Structure 1
Amino acid sequence: MHDDRSLVEARLTRVLDERIRPAVYPERLPLDVTVWHAPGEPVPVAEGLAAGTGPIGVGDRWGAPWGTSWFKVTGAVPQAWAGRIVEALLDLGFDEYMPGFQCEGLVYLPDGAPVKGLSPRNQWVRIGAPVTGGEQVVLHIEAASNPVVFGPRPFVPTLLGDRGTAGSEPQYRLGRMDLAVFDLMVWELVHDLEVLGELMRELPVDSARRWDILRAVERALDAVDLQDVNSTAIAAREQLIEVLASPAHPAAHHISAVGHAHIDSAWLWPLRETVRKVARTASNMTALLEDEPDFVFTMSQAQQLAWIKEHRPEVYARVKKAVSEGRFVPTGGMWVESDTNMPGSEAMARQFVHGKRFFIEEFGIDNEEVWLPDTFGFAAGLPQIIRAAGAKWLLTQKMSWSRTNTFPHHTFLWEGIDGSRVFTHFPPVDTYNCSMHGREIAHAAANFKEKGAARRSLAPTGWGDGGGGTTREMVAKAARLRSLEGSATVRWEAPTEFFAKAEAEYPNPPVWVGELYLELHRATLTSQAQTKQGNRRSEHLLREAELWAATAAVRAGFPYPHQQLDRVWKTVLLHQFHDILPGSSIAWVHREARQTYAAVAAELGGIIEAAQNALAGDGGTVLVFNAAPHTRHGVAAGGAAPAAAAGRKPVMAPRTSGGYVLDNGLLRVEIDGRGLVVSAYDIQARREALPPGAAAGLLQLHQDLPNMWDAWDVDSFYRNTGSDLTTSDRITASEGGTYVSVRVVRTFGDSTATQVFTLAAGAKRLDIDTEVDWHETEKFLKMAFPLDIHAERYASETQFGHFFRPTHTNTSWEAAKFEACNHRFVHLEEPGWGVAVVNDSTYGHDVTRTVRAEDKGTTTTVRVSLLRAPRFPDPETDQGVHRFRHALLPGATIGDAVREGYAVNLPERRVPGGAAVAPLVTVDDDAVVLSALKLADDGSGDVVVRLYESRGGRARALLTPGFDYEDAYATDLLERPLDTPVAVTAEGIQLSLRPFELVTLRLKRA
């Protein structure tokens, strides 16, 4: 029996490959092809269609990197083919094993109407079904010669990632350009045999069902005349009817297939190419929907649909029609499939605001599901944001990529920092590019961890990454798997249908509390530092622009820039896509990102300046504007006033052993002759922050060559080697009226680091400004803060609160978190005394603990990640000058960490003017943080206030509006009223908040 099985399987493989598949197109003839190579960036469709073309032949090279070529394909259908199905087979030079990562095309008719996209697994265009004979064929192909940046491992540095360095060498050879007869019966036979053969291989060797299939396949192959497949295909299919008709077991696992084309909004191609990728894929999918009545396709990322609307309105019209029919399903409700670790509180909220609003306004769809199949882990603050946006379900596949621990569930409730829960599903098929292969279907069923309690999972089906989507072959396979004995059942369903059914069948799923940490791609918290800095700076500038523009609109009649802010927000949200903000895209993407962030900063700076000038009025008094949520230096949060005295003037004295002592009455800091901080003494608490013999602000350099994904990964073994940068070139000190500082310059390798340690009057924090002129390769730069503190956990800021991680490595789960994400602060605490490290632009960090042999004390070390130097996909990653700001806060409470984290990111602004500016709203409890203050998006003039409890405790606070208002009510993130009652009193609005609770209030102005 074993020999029979092996022989039949081998026979099936060869006959399919060498006889049956080639017979799908039994007759062919070549088409005539000419070409025009666009000289620069892509041109409008009309220009491409009208361009004069020159000769090109099959086998000729074409396509400089990132170029566009317009092929014109012509021919005539032979009269002898009348009554048959005819297709054009158009091969631009594809490698079928790399869908999504190479050249692509969009086919147009002469009138500019799009037909469908061309990609490695989708090379056909239907001419007629049937044809009458004599039809003239004229097709135009807009072909993108995107170079293959992503090749077989190991990944090697390449200059192809930017047009300026990619050169002009043609990338492809033109393949077949044929007109061909399509034999539908043979095509159906191919899929009968593929589905049965794949199922047979997945069934147990001793399974009776396996042997039933094997014998049926054997009979079918016997029925095929290998010299005349086309005339014997019907007879072969008849031998398979019985085994294909045998239904699935009633308890079989059920797979909800949804057509999908995961398209990275930028990655190994620039943003402008994604604009074309989504048009090609949408053209393909709308065409497939017309041909396949059971098929359902879903597309996330409102930005991508907005691109189609703007750049390809004729494609968008087809999309809207398919959406209205319920076949093309916008999903996810976010502007892009963003990273969720690094975006700040408001940015994460606005991903849903702008995404959901687009889907509502364009399609009348209010998404309840969040669709993030490829995001690199999920922050603990996300469930509350999802709920506040009016959604309740989450899908991701990426957690299956974890390398150390296997996540214990596929369907579960995910609980965030405030207690909000989201019904979450991880597709057990373990891919967002399912192709309906029998191996994938069997894996989904066997892998599903909820067996016995639930039996439903989802399979995103279609080629992705670079797009392409579902193919007719996948649809054909799914039809045969609808109910097939030995297999899971498969039906096309929209995500909402899947989630509703999955939730109903599994009313009490297990609960996972806290972050969903991906045990992979940890270096994305550090790579491309300037992209991350641009994001952080943009987020805080947007906060300021909204705050001051709203205040000026209410106080001074300033025209609130609704459309301008809307556009800038969408730009910032786009760049939070999970391969842009994480730093894992080609050089072109990050070069453009730096330019974009500079333009955003200039534009928002203009809004802020105009609004503040409108508020300040005329006068000679210097007003200090404070956009941070807490009162500082006598300046009310959200208001402006003349600067107050800063506190006792700090002093500086030389140390007897070299270096300096800085003292402002609150902190005494010692910097030794190496330029390292060796003491940070909390004068009031009489407590030293640093362990004996340790140094803070210490730069440490590690070798950094991960096993696989250069820009994405840092592997734990990087810690095995490293060096402390303790040698200084020069140390200088300076004093100002309100500060003292020490400047230290160090050179190492081909790089230079300059650190300035500053102690300001009235500030219980040591500021550390670091400038690095970075020219290392495959290195990792960290800055260490060893602390004399015994803590089993530490707080790391996330969206709308903070999250605790252990400092120990008791289990593999803790050990795997050797690099993690924070926003503005990390905080460690013993009862009654703590320390915080705050930053203005870094995210990656690690925390470790040791016990000192000398005094048995515990040293807990916080290290912030500054720079990396991977060579793929951008060989020049992070080369150049970078500036960072950090601060060490001895004696800090969690409230201090929150306050100073905001302060370091929102510096005060000084504007000449007249009278002080009162805040638009005030809150009488510092635990309650104002996250956003703005005018309502609908242009009504209502004031919207978003706030949250920031310390992880209960809070009762009074919010007092500084303007006349008629009413106040709670809303969701989209500023839609909720049923939640709001306690409005004569004094203001009484708030009672749970730990980390997020509240949005809308105040109707009188």
Structure 2
Amino acid sequence: MHDERKILELRIRRILVEVLRPAVHAPAQRLEVSAHHLDGEPVPASEALARDFTPFQVGDPWGNAWGTTWFRMTARPPASWAGSVLEAVIDLGFTEGRPGMSAEGLAYSAEGSPLKGLHPTNRWLRLTDDYDGSAELTFFLEAAGNPHIEDGLAARELGAGLGAAPIYRLAVADVAVFHQEVAELVLDIEVLSELMGELAEADPRRWDVLYALNRAVAAVDLEDVVGSATAARAELRDVMRSPAVASAHVLTAVGHAHIDTAWLWPLRETERKAVRTASNALDLMRRDPSFVFVMSQAQQLAWIKQNQPQLFRDLQEKAAEGQFVPVAGMWVESDTNLPGGEALARQFVHGKRFVMEEFGTEPRGAWLPDSFGYSGALPQIMALSGSEWFMSQKISWNRTDVFPHSTFLWEGIDGTRVFSHMPPVNTYNGKVTGEELARAVRNFREKGKARHSLLPFGHGNGGGGPTREMLGRAHRFADIEGAPRVRMASPQQFFDDAAADHADPPVWTGEMYLEMHRGVFASHLSTKQGNRRAEHLLRAAEMWATTAAVTAGAPYPYDDLDALWKRVLLFQFHDILPGSSIEWVHREVEEEYAVIAERLEAMIAESLRVLAGEGNVPLVARSAPHDAAGATSAAIDAAPPRDEAAVTIAPHAGGYVLDNGMLRVRIDDAGLVRSVLQTATGREVISPESPANLLQVHPDVPAQWDAWDIDRYYRDSVVELDAATEGMEPFEDGDRIGIRVRRRHHRSTFVQTVALRPGAERVEFGLDVDWHERQTLVKVAFPFPLRATTSSSETQFGFIERPIPENTSWDFERFEICAHRYLQIHEGDVGVALVNDSTYGHDVRRTVSPAGTTTTVHLTILRGPTFPDPRADEGTHSLTYWLVPSAHPADAVAAGYAINSPNRPLTGAGPVGPLVTSHNPAVVVEALKFADDRSGDLIVRLYESTGTRQMASFEWGIPVTEVVENDLLERDVDGRRVLGGEPFAFRPFQIVTLRLRRAI
């Protein structure tokens, strides 16, 4: 019996592959081809079609890396094909097996309108549904020579710009008769074969299907495949019509195409990928009214509107009909660990607002299948934006721990809960195969309590999205015995049904940590520095522009700020900000960050100039995160007199002692910090076990995913840079006094500084690196004599507490963690924070010796991954970090703002008071701006920063008639108002947005 099954399955497979599939497009005839090769960047179709085309043959080379070739293709079919459906079949030399990682094409009409994308798994283009027997059929094809970039690629030019030599050959360019009935037979056999493969050998259903398939292929006339296709399909009718069981799982199949906004291709190529994919989806929507397609990134929709306005209008029409669903709840599918709080809020503001303005609907969820872990602050941000649900899939990539839920409530750090779903099919590039459906049922965590899950299907990353074959499979799996039911519907329909399905969903609390891709907290430091600086400059520019407008009547730069925010949000895409794109992407982004910073600095300077007037009184913009008038400042005041104790520096045992009356810092003869003594308490901050500010260098060769991953095994080998290889010297920089030490490791040099300021209870560290190592990880270690059990890492609008002991596999796998501006540990009321101006990767470890427990905090400084950018991180870098001896979160918060938004000296005519003052330092003013509706109202965003319940009252520096609570999109929240100076209650980490209606 087993041998008979194998023989029949092999026979069915052979006829499918060798007889039926080739007959779908037959007969075929070569197209007449001519070509035009562009020398540089892409040009619009209107320009390309007007250029000269020269004869081109199948087999000729085309397409240098990242280049573009335009083909003109003409069919002159014979009269005998009259009445037939004709399709072009094109193979540009596609790389098999990696759709989206190869050449791609977009077909245009003779008039220059986009028709449909052509891809490795989607090679057809409908030319006519009813050939008249005489017409000449012409179309144009914009072919992108995108290189197939693999791990270990050595050819750096493929990531840096246009390559020199052609990398593709045109393999097929035919016009063929398309036979619908043969195509349907092929799908029938494929679906039943996949279904059969998932059934147990002892299941009678498997044998019913097998023998039906055998009868079907026996009915195929090898001399007349087209004519016998209907009879062959008839043999399958009964097994196709046998329905699924009543209790079958229900999969909602949603067409989508996850297009990385940049990754192994530059940003400009994503603009074209989005058009190709949307063209394909639109073609399918027109052919199948049940097909629903989603796009999740407003930026990509904005590019389509800009580059192909007619295509965008067609999508708007399909959105009105319910077939196209812009689930763009964010500007891009951003990383959610690395962006700052206000930036993550603006992702939702700009994404949702674009959809609401352009499509007339509000996205009700967040669609983030591929971001590298999910911040515990996200549920509150989503809810405040009006998002009701969350979808992701990436946590299924965990290497050790299986996420315990498919459908659940996700509770954020403030207690907000959002209905969430992790599709158990464990892919966001589904093909609607029998194996995928069986996998989804097998992995579904809530069996017996619910029976709905989501199946996102379509080739991503420029692979073209869903195909007509996928839709055909979805229809066949709609109601068939032995499989779950499949329906095509919108994400909202799924979430509505899933919510009705779950009377009491399980709850996941806090961040969703991905047990992979931990290296993205450190890769491409310059990109991360550009983002951090841009975030704080945007905050400063908004606050100062608001102050200048309200106080001095300056015009508010709405449009400039809007455009700059959108560029910064774009660069927070989950393969840009994490540092996991090709060199071209990071070079372009870092150059643009410099331009953004220059524009914002000029905007701030203009606001300060307006405020300062013509006087010459020395003033300073003071940093104070709980007040706001501009930048991170509370006000512009006359500079206070300096009466703090001066910093002293004295030689000691070959090293130095720094003292400012608050801290006494001892530095040894190698330039390492051996002691930080708090003068008032006599407490020692640094463990006697080892020095602080110690650079540690590790080999960094993860098992895979070079720029993405750090494997725990890096700890097996370390080189400590504990010698002052190029000398040590005192220095003075304004009121900062300290020592400078130079070190070398192989081809790289490090310059470290340690300094104190008068009156500041912190130690300031600087690091300048000229970095030229590959596959090497650099950390800096700070050992503290504390038996800390948790670390508190700043995240958006709060912090995340993580266990330090590794009691569980979840703790063990969390060996590299993300923190924003600070990470703090404490033992009772004794603690310490490390704050930084540009890095995100950290780890915290404990050791025990006879002297007691030491908890060591490491900042991850640099890496040197070789894929996808072989030169990642090479060059010079400068960063700053501070040691702040304090156990109170408010001190860490204040220091985090201070290090990232330093005071701005200026001259002016007199003091300018703060527009907003929070009288509780735990409640931080995160944003102050004019309302986006240009009503003249002010928007103030505040949050509770310490993780405790607080009461806060506010003082307005301007006449205010009414203060109303808003959501993130600046819409009134019913029933929530703050009047006058009445105290306002904050729950831990609560975000509150207030609209100040002014008396003008």
TM-score normalised per structure 2: 0.98
From 422, 427, 432, the counterpart of 1:431: 427
CA distance in 2, matches of 1:249, 1:737: 78
Structure 1 942/188 Cα, relative in aligned 2: closer, same or farther at 3 Å? same
Contact persistence 1:158–1:873 (CA under 8 A): no
Structure 1 598/628 Cα, relative in aligned 2: closer, same or farther at 3 Å? farther
Which deviates more from structure 2 when the two are superposed, residues 297-306 or residues 8-17?
8-17
- Matched residue, 2:838: 841
CA distance in 1, matches of 2:415, 2:817: 22
Give the CA deviation at 1:91: 1.5
CA distance in 1, matches of 2:623, 2:243: 65
Give the CA deviation at 1:189: 0.3
CA distance in 1, matches of 2:997, 2:314: 40
Q: Percent same amino acid at aligned positions?
A: 51
* 2:596 is the alignment partner of 1:596: no
* 2:128 is the alignment partner of 1:128: yes
CA distance in 2, matches of 1:179, 1:553: 64
- Matched residue, 1:555: 551
Q: SS of the residue aligned with 1:638? A: strand
* 2:217 is the alignment partner of 1:224: no
Q: SS of the residue aligned with 2:278? A: helix
- Equivalent residue runs for 1:39-54 within 5 Å: 39-54=39-54
CA distance in 1, matches of 2:368, 2:955: 39
Render the CA deviation track for 1:375-399: whole Å, top value 9, x for unaligned. 0000111110001101120000101
- Matched residue, 1:799: 796
CA distance in 1, matches of 2:717, 2:642: 44
- Matched residue, 2:70: 70
From 477, 494, 514, the counterpart of 1:481: 477
- Equivalent residue runs for 1:708-857 within 5 Å: 708-728=704-724, 729-735=726-732, 738-853=735-850, 855=851, 857=852
Contact persistence 2:160–2:582 (CA under 8 A): no
Give the CA deviation at 1:163: 4.3
CA distance in 2, matches of 1:659, 1:696: 14
* 2:99 is the alignment partner of 1:99: yes
- Matched residue, 2:902: 907
> Which amino acid is the alignment partner of residue 609 of structure 1?
A
Render the CA deviation track for 1:748-770: whole Å, top value 9, x for unaligned. 11000001111001111101010
> Which amino acid is the alignment partner of residue 411 of structure 1?
T
- Matched residue, 1:330: 326
- Equivalent residue runs for 1:580-595 within 5 Å: 580-595=576-591
CA distance in 2, matches of 1:989, 1:923: 12
> Which amino acid is the alignment partner of residue 295 of structure 1?
F
Give the CA deviation at 1:655: 4.2
Contact persistence 1:982–1:990 (CA under 8 A): no
- Matched residue, 2:287: 291
* 2:59 is the alignment partner of 1:59: yes
Q: SS of the residue aligned with 1:58? A: coil
- Matched residue, 1:882: 877
Contact persistence 1:960–1:989 (CA under 8 A): no
- Matched residue, 1:956: 951
Structure 1 646/765 Cα, relative in aligned 2: closer, same or farther at 3 Å? farther
> Which amino acid is the alignment partner of residue 181 of structure 1?
V
- Matched residue, 1:512: 508
From 987, 1000, 1003, the counterpart of 2:996: 1003
CA distance in 2, matches of 1:54, 1:742: 68
CA distance in 2, matches of 1:627, 1:503: 46
Render the CA deviation track for 1:809-860: whole Å, top value 9, x for unaligned. 011100000001000000111112110000000001100001113x2x1100
From 370, 373, 386, the counterpart of 2:369: 373
* 2:303 is the alignment partner of 1:318: no
> Which amino acid is the alignment partner of residue 529 of structure 1?
L
Equivalences, count:
996
CA distance in 2, matches of 1:550, 1:299: 35
CA distance in 2, matches of 1:681, 1:901: 22
> Which amino acid is the alignment partner of residue 697 of structure 1?
N
Give the CA deviation at 1:364: 1.0
Q: SS of the residue aligned with 1:470? A: coil
- Equivalent residue runs for 1:400-439 within 5 Å: 400-439=396-435
Render the CA deviation track for 1:541-582: whole Å, top value 9, x for unaligned. 000000000011100001000000000000000000000000
From 135, 156, 161, the counterpart of 1:159: 156
Structure 1 160/3 Cα, relative in aligned 2: closer, same or farther at 3 Å? farther
- Matched residue, 1:618: 614
CA distance in 2, matches of 1:677, 1:646: 28
Give the CA deviation at 1:649: 3.1
Render the CA deviation track for 1:667-689: whole Å, top value 9, x for unaligned. 11111100001101111222101
* 2:341 is the alignment partner of 1:349: no
Contact persistence 1:161–1:873 (CA under 8 A): no
Q: SS of the residue aligned with 2:681? A: coil
CA distance in 1, matches of 2:805, 2:451: 37
- Equivalent residue runs for 1:681-692 within 5 Å: 681-692=677-688
* 2:119 is the alignment partner of 1:119: yes
Give the CA deviation at 1:169: 1.3
- Matched residue, 2:918: 923
Render the CA deviation track for 1:209-250: whole Å, top value 9, x for unaligned. 111101111111111123332221111100000000000011
Q: SS of the residue aligned with 1:95? A: coil
CA distance in 2, matches of 1:145, 1:636: 47
CA distance in 1, matches of 2:160, 2:586: 13
Unaligned stretches of 5+ residues in structure 2: none
Render the CA deviation track for 1:444-489: whole Å, top value 9, x for unaligned. 1111111111111101110002341000000000010000100011
What is the RMSD computed on CA atoms of the aligned residues?
A: 1.3
Render the CA deviation track for 1:160-200: whole Å, top value 9, x for unaligned. 44344x53111101011111001111100000000000000
From 863, 867, 870, the counterpart of 1:872: 867
CA distance in 1, matches of 2:271, 2:654: 60
Unaligned stretches of 5+ residues in structure 1: none
CA distance in 2, matches of 1:812, 1:125: 51
Q: SS of the residue aligned with 2:973? A: coil
Render the CA deviation track for 1:465-519: whole Å, top value 9, x for unaligned. 2341000000000010000100011111111111111011102111011100000
- Equivalent residue runs for 1:185-200 within 5 Å: 185-200=181-196
Contact persistence 2:835–2:899 (CA under 8 A): yes
- Matched residue, 2:565: 569
- Matched residue, 1:141: 141
Contact persistence 1:681–1:688 (CA under 8 A): yes
Q: SS of the residue aligned with 2:603? A: helix
- Matched residue, 1:22: 22
From 356, 359, 378, the counterpart of 2:355: 359
Render the CA deviation track for 1:694-723: whole Å, top value 9, x for unaligned. 211111000001101001001010110011
Q: SS of the residue aligned with 1:981? A: strand
TM-score normalised per structure 1: 0.98
Structure 1 363/297 Cα, relative in aligned 2: closer, same or farther at 3 Å? same
Q: SS of the residue aligned with 1:734? A: strand
CA distance in 1, matches of 2:470, 2:223: 28
Render the CA deviation track for 1:104-127: whole Å, top value 9, x for unaligned. 111111111111111111111111
Contact persistence 1:649–1:738 (CA under 8 A): no
> Which amino acid is the alignment partner of residue 54 of structure 2?
G
CA distance in 2, matches of 1:705, 1:737: 42
> Which amino acid is the alignment partner of residue 111 of structure 2?
D
> Which amino acid is the alignment partner of residue 539 of structure 1?
E
Contact persistence 2:31–2:73 (CA under 8 A): yes
* 2:205 is the alignment partner of 1:212: no
- Matched residue, 2:854: 859
Which deviates more from structure 2 when the two are superposed, residues 128-137 or residues 756-765?
128-137
Structure 1 512/975 Cα, relative in aligned 2: closer, same or farther at 3 Å? same
CA distance in 2, matches of 1:457, 1:158: 43
From 249, 254, 259, the counterpart of 1:263: 259
CA distance in 1, matches of 2:832, 2:306: 50
